[in-house]
Amino acid sequence: MLTILAGLIGLSIVVIFHELGHFFAARSVGVEVEAFSIGWGPKLVGKKWGKTEWRISALPLGGFCKMKGEDDFKKALDLKLDTIPGSSDSFYGASPWKRIIILFSGPLMNVVFAIIMFSFVSLVGITIITAPNRIVLASEFNKTTEAHASSNPADLAGLQSGDIILALDGKTVRDYSDIQELIGFNPGKTMDIEILRDGKKIATTITPMLDKNSGQGLIGIYAWVDPVIEKIESGTSAEIAGLLPGDKVLSVNGQSVRNTIDIMKILESKPEVIELNVERSAQRITKKLVVVYSDANSLNLGIQFKSFVRHDKAAGVGDAFINGVSEFSKTFSLTIRGIGLLFSGVNVLKAISGPARLTYIIGNAATESIKQSGLAGIVPILNFLAFLSVGLFIMNLLPIPALDGGQILLSLSEMIKGKPISTKSIYRFQTIGMVMILALFLFATFSDVLFFIFRAGQG
């Protein structure tokens, strides 16, 4: 319930800012706003300030801004009027350019919200837990991948386990997080790559392949993480075995290990008991550990290996704002590119998220982040909401009837024609839009159902 509540609050914040954009724009061009509601459904409480009733409604998902004259469309249909009547202070009675300002201001507020959040995150600083920029070839670990090593981008590019990636596409790589971002956002693009191997720099090219389940680029690598224990979970087999933070795993069941991937490779055979040879304070000791598997055959040794922590923080307010604008521009570009990938053979059932999955993702990220970092965990949540706001900005400006973009298209058509569009034409346009939105909603909901079924199957 806490996860669901946190997710609903996160989604609502983004949607409410969108609706506030409509509200302020309507008031600025002289269109009366009859009601502004936080939430949908039956009104719980409400108070009228000026000409607007401010409400809190029963369903905590977003909100809405109800402008004067929105019911005039229905009246025109019922009375079979050729055009929609309305006073100058109503939505349909306002001139087309005023309606365009009102409609565009909702998505525009999402831009403002995203830049503010990105800037705030940059000013406060965000901690990224990742791994060094050293790699392990997936073909050395996963048997399925190994069978197709000839088509694995990392293998084709001549990369080797232990290589340190210094730069990708001309951009300096600081850690594994940078590698994931640059590779993930560029499927199919041939990129320059610079690596460090045995003290020598090597330059070559690599072309990430498209992962049809996620729409991201992959090259077939894992992060090289040194097998140094950073944390032991309480009550787990590792604690019972007497392992301690700082221990470095040298071998498992007599097989030497260089990194955590080597450990996972040994555990593929699912042994019930493993013998670890570890280095502690310059001494070598042996510990036996009972391995417990879940119903989904996944394991949890109770060991957290040493991670790489990066803290990004702006030098000041001006620098934070520049970073916020830059992050918005990058996210906008990547989102547009992502939409294009939907037409490139991506499994849309897995790539598209509906309201249920978004609520779960936001809520789960929020609860886990706060659980681990306390109030400091709010920062990555705000960063995620900024990403979501960029997506809402783009989605609402699509020229789909019933969305802001579709309504803007109608208003532009009216300006070009120089006269109001007929009620029947608007009705047909809106009907097409509702069918499209309903189909997209059902498709996204079906995708969400598959997502939760898969998660349940994973235990």
Percent of the chain with pLDDT over 70: 81
pTM: 0.73
What is the average pLDDT score of the chain?
Answer: 82
Cα separation of 50 and 205, whole Å? 64
**Distance set, CA 285 to CA 241, 250, 276, 279, 334 (Å):** 12, 10, 8, 6, 49
- Residue partners of 139: CB distance under 8 A and separation at least 6: 145, 146, 149, 152, 154, 155, 220
Cα separation of 361 and 39, whole Å? 20
Cα separation of 443 and 31, whole Å? 36
Cα separation of 383 and 312, whole Å? 13
The answer to whether residues 52 and 35 touch, using CB atoms and an 8 Å cutoff, is yes
Homologous superfamily of the 135-223 domain (CATH): PDZ domain (2.30.42.10)
First vs last Cα of the chain: how many Å apart? 18
Q: How is the chain split into domains, by residue range?
A: 135-223, 229-303
Which residues on neighbouring strands pair with residue 45, listed in sequence order?
Answer: 56
Q: Which residue has the higher pLDDT, 88 or 116?
A: 116
Q: Which residue has the higher pLDDT, 438 or 361?
A: 438
The label of the residue with tokens 């087999």 reads 237
In this predicted structure, what is the pLDDT of residue 382? Answer: 82
In this predicted structure, what is the pLDDT of residue 419? Answer: 83
H helix or E strand, kind and range, residue 54:
strand 52-67
Where in the sequence numbering do the catalytic residues fall?
19
Using the predicted structure, report yes or no on whether residue 280 has a pLDDT greater than 90: yes
| DSSP of 433-447 | HHHHHHHHHHHHHHH
Three-class DSSP category at 310: strand
Cα separation of 254 and 231, whole Å? 23
Which of 21-35, 88-102, 136-150, 382-396 is least confident?
Answer: 136-150
Domain spanning 229-303: which CATH class is it, in words? mainly beta
- The order of strands in the sheet holding 191-197 is 171-172, 164-168, 191-197, 200-206
CA dihedral (225, 226, 229, 230) in degrees, to 10, reads -60
Using one digit for the tens of pLDDT, what is the confidence trace for 389-410?
988 898 889 888 778 998 899 8
What distance lies between CA 77 and its chain's CA centroid?
41
Cα separation of 19 and 62, whole Å? 9
Q: Which residue has the higher pLDDT, 161 or 349?
A: 161
Using one digit for the tens of pLDDT, what is the confidence trace for 111-165?
999 999 999 989 988 878 889 999 999 988 765 444 445 578 999 999 999 999 9
